[in-house]
Structure 1
Amino acid sequence: MTTTLQTRERGLHRAWIVAGVAFVAILGAAGFRATPGVLITPLQEEFGWSRGTISLAVSVNLMLYGLTAPFAAALMDRFGMRRIVSCALLLVAAGSGLTILMNAPWQLVLCWGVLVGLGTGSMALVFAATLTDRWFVRHRGLVTGILTAGGATGQLIFLPVLATLAAAQGWRIAAATVTAAALVVVPLVWFLLRDHPAEVGTTALGADREAPPPVPRPRTGGAAAHALAVLWRAARTRPFWLLVGGFAICGMSTNGLVGTHFIPAAHDHGMSEPIAAGLLAVIGIFDVVGTIASGWLSDRIDPRTLLGVYYALRGLSLMVLPILFSATAEPSMLVFIIFYGLDWVATVPPTVALCRQVYGQDAPVVFGWVFASHQIGAAVAAVGAGLTRDLSGAYDLAWYAAGALCLLAALMSVAVGTAKDAAGRRVPA
């Protein structure tokens, strides 16, 4: 037995294989979720639906992507990652495939909004948090960063391919491609992903083999009840609201503001849309580098410090952005794009680490609720910035407000401490 364990330690630990499968699933989920944006123009041209009607499906998709997260974490806790991720991929395949047969807007909302939203939401960042919590003790931050970067990589890979297919072969071919890609990943997940190291006779990477496994918290009721129970416990603690507030501001200042309004804001200053879109794509490229580096740093530096620095630098950069816009991509704007890309979702690994430090076994579900606040914040900023542009004729106030909120998020992150209940007692991990 000792010889077997020693051999396993010298070879590739099974945790890396599991993480590789998760990376493929998360990469695909990000590409699948973002696909409706590619289909807006083709659907409008074929069916004559308004952009508002088509955007409703995108909005439902975005909201479910965030709100599904805590319940998906609870379902993984109850039924296992392998079953939930496999079912999520089948939901994506069904949602995308059925759009080929649709002829009414409500069918688009049902397929791309509900089915694809639920499916991709079940493979969002809570999946990464759950997996790293179970399979890694060493390199947790690094692996979290790599899996988070998979989201950005998925969009960079899928969107150009699907856009090309939609333009050359029609949107139905693009939708069928998403269905086929989701179905191809199902057997990979089913046969290679495992819920716990004990299932294959090993322990988490870096875990003490002599230490007893953690004792699960006793639970009653279903997965939804568990997700709500965790929310109830966490909501009575101060760190939860600091994390929720900070991550909501994160969503506001990234997906909601820059991701949604950077292109039209640049166009307001005379920049062509292709050039602005190219700059936004560069943000995605540097996002991969920044997120992986952030994961590596999260294993070595207090995550509170990292979050404080990330949010403060982001806030200052947003306050400078209004004076950088021009009709061409000047070097100063390129510096902003690179800097902002490195910081885009670098906040995820230290936020996951803080949830783990403060809430122990409840961390994946707690992070699910924190992630939901990110999407809600993004939705609020997307609408708020649009109204600001309509009322004032410019986006300047939106950039300054987002910058100030990021500075507030920096203070909130540094203030995160140990979770205590209403009576001042530490919440057990």
Structure 2
Amino acid sequence: MARFSPSRRMHPALVVVAVTFLALLVSAGLRSAPGVMMLPLELHFGWDRATISFSAALGILLYGLVGPFAAALMVSVGIKRTMLGGLALMAGSTFASQWMSAPWHYVLSWGVISGVGSGAVASVLGAAVVNRWFATRQGLVMGLLSASTATGALIFLPFLAWLSEGGAWRPVAQMVSLACLLLIPLVAWLVPERPQDRGTARFGEDPAQATAEVPPRQAVRPWLAIEALGRAIRSPVFWVLSGTFFVCGLTTNGLVGTHMIAFCGDHGIAPVAAAGLLSLMGFFDLIGTTASGWLTDRYDPRRLLAIYYGLRGLSLLALPFIDFGPVSLTIFAIFYGLDWIATVPPTVKLASQNFGPQDATIIFGWVLVAHQIGAAVAAFGAGVIRQEMGSYMPAFVIAGLFAVLASAVFLTGMGRGDGRDKAAPA
């Protein structure tokens, strides 16, 4: 009987993390799908690159803008209900897009509705799960959950690119919709609302010293996000984190995630091969971002962010000038991939240190808004630059310079805050 005692059972936090990882993975797959669909939609409907990029940009923007309100929903009605609602919107909108015939249909389905749904299943969800379920190893778990977005590209992109061969786009929509739909019963079954529902404390927390968590209220209270923002904007740290995370979005999913396949196409590289390149980035980001979480538990997050943004900027500045051969692209994919979203764990750590456990998740949601604004600017702006100038080179050079600037911000010591660590022990 001792084999099955509570002390020997798997902690439910590990199951919650596994399901959350899958949900974030699918959400990332949805947000990366427009990059695969860009050329097929252009061929099938005759829509120009700027129009298609606008829908992708809007989806990316809403993906971030919904974040703080989703965090407030997680506080007021619960993490589980928020996840289920987001997955339902993602499944419904992508499934309905099979019958689109005009640009506004694409904007509504893949831009507005899926953007709102995926925003409820985004990095802010990972931050909420970490804060609620883990007393130790928070940086490592946040790194792992952040890496799920890269893993989404790793798993989805080559398969979606294969489905889109010959200009087909409906199979892509069907596959994304099915993946979202399959997750709904999994979340309903395996994700309890809080550790107390399973008769345990947070992972790494002494049950005798655990404080009882207040159950979520059933009323929807979106103004919690506004109240938290009102407190945060008085802090210079908030503006440093938001500004640099704007650059993070500008230099990752907005530019590379949305336009890399098309950029490779300009150099004669087939979509499947280009998607494989993104998958290679995703594989190495899984390593890099998980390692970033481990490092965040041990080192000054500001120094880590200075390194990450500096390396990312240098890689983007170099990309337009390489020969786009297999060797040079592989080197870029490894170098850039290790740093794709390694910025998330130290950014979450700084938010927790400066805003405390009660506000940290919502404040990170607002910081994520800046990230997605940057991503939206890059997604739309790079499409316009390509259409007007016939080349993506200026877009990648501008993004690289912004990343170097973000590195300089942290090298000067900004983002220190008041020096008080208000977060739960990590």
Same fold (TM over 0.5): yes
Which 5+ residue runs of structure 1 have no aligned equivalent?
A: 421-425
Q: Is the 8 A contact 2:57 2:380 kept in 1?
A: no
Correspondence 1:354-365 to 2 at 5 A: 354-360=350-356, 361-365=358-362
In structure 2, the residue matched to 1:345 is 341
Give the drift of 1:134.
Answer: 0.4
Aligned length: 419
Amino acid aligned to 1:140: Q
RMSD: 3.3
In structure 2, the residue matched to 1:182 is 180
Is it true that 1:159 corresponds to 2:157 in the alignment? yes
Amino acid aligned to 2:351: C
Give the secondary structure class of the aligned counterpart of 2:208: coil
In structure 1, the residue matched to 2:269 is 272
Q: Distance in 2 between matches of 1:24 and 1:137?
A: 22
Q: Distance in 1 between matches of 2:56 and 2:264?
A: 23
2:365 alignment partner, one of 361, 364, 368: 368
TM-score by length of 1: 0.86
Name which of structure 1's ranges 102-111 and 84-93 shifts more when overlaid on structure 2: 102-111
Give the secondary structure class of the aligned counterpart of 2:223: helix
Correspondence 1:207-218 to 2 at 5 A: 207-213=205-211
Give the drift of 1:32.
Answer: 2.0
Correspondence 1:1-400 to 2 at 5 A: 7-167=5-165, 171-213=169-211, 222-262=220-260, 272-273=269-270, 277-323=275-321, 325-331=322-328, 333-360=329-356, 361-385=358-382, 398-400=395-397
Q: 1:232 to 1:211 in 2, by over 3 A?
A: same
Give the drift of 1:393.
Answer: 7.2
Q: 1:79 to 1:406 in 2, by over 3 A?
A: same
Is it true that 1:410 corresponds to 2:407 in the alignment? yes
Amino acid aligned to 2:335: F
Output one character per residue of 1:42-87: Cα deviation in whole Å (capped at 9) or x when no partner: 4445544444444433222111111111111111111111111111
Give the secondary structure class of the aligned counterpart of 1:231: helix
Give the drift of 1:298.
Answer: 1.5
Q: Distance in 1 between matches of 2:243 and 2:303?
A: 17
Output one character per residue of 1:203-245: Cα deviation in whole Å (capped at 9) or x when no partner: 11012323352777999x9532111111111011111011001
Name which of structure 1's ranges 271-280 and 386-395 shifts more when overlaid on structure 2: 386-395
Q: 1:49 to 1:336 in 2, by over 3 A?
A: closer
Give the secondary structure class of the aligned counterpart of 1:115: helix
Give the drift of 1:107.
Answer: 2.6
Give the secondary structure class of the aligned counterpart of 1:223: coil
Output one character per residue of 1:290-323: Cα deviation in whole Å (capped at 9) or x when no partner: 1111111112222222112212222334444454
Give % identity. Answer: 46
In structure 2, the residue matched to 1:423 is none
Q: Is the 8 A contact 2:41 2:167 kept in 1?
A: no
Amino acid aligned to 1:369: W
Q: 1:87 to 1:382 in 2, by over 3 A?
A: closer
Give the drift of 1:376.
Answer: 1.0
Amino acid aligned to 1:30: A
Q: Is the 8 A contact 1:238 1:419 kept in 2?
A: no
Q: 1:96 to 1:355 in 2, by over 3 A?
A: same
Q: 1:392 to 1:177 in 2, by over 3 A?
A: closer
Give the secondary structure class of the aligned counterpart of 2:29: helix
Q: 1:253 to 1:297 in 2, by over 3 A?
A: same
The structure whose Rg is larger is 1
TM-score by length of 2: 0.86
Q: Distance in 1 between matches of 2:34 and 2:390?
A: 29
Q: 1:214 to 1:305 in 2, by over 3 A?
A: farther
Which 5+ residue runs of structure 2 have no aligned equivalent?
A: none
Q: Is the 8 A contact 1:126 1:368 kept in 2?
A: yes
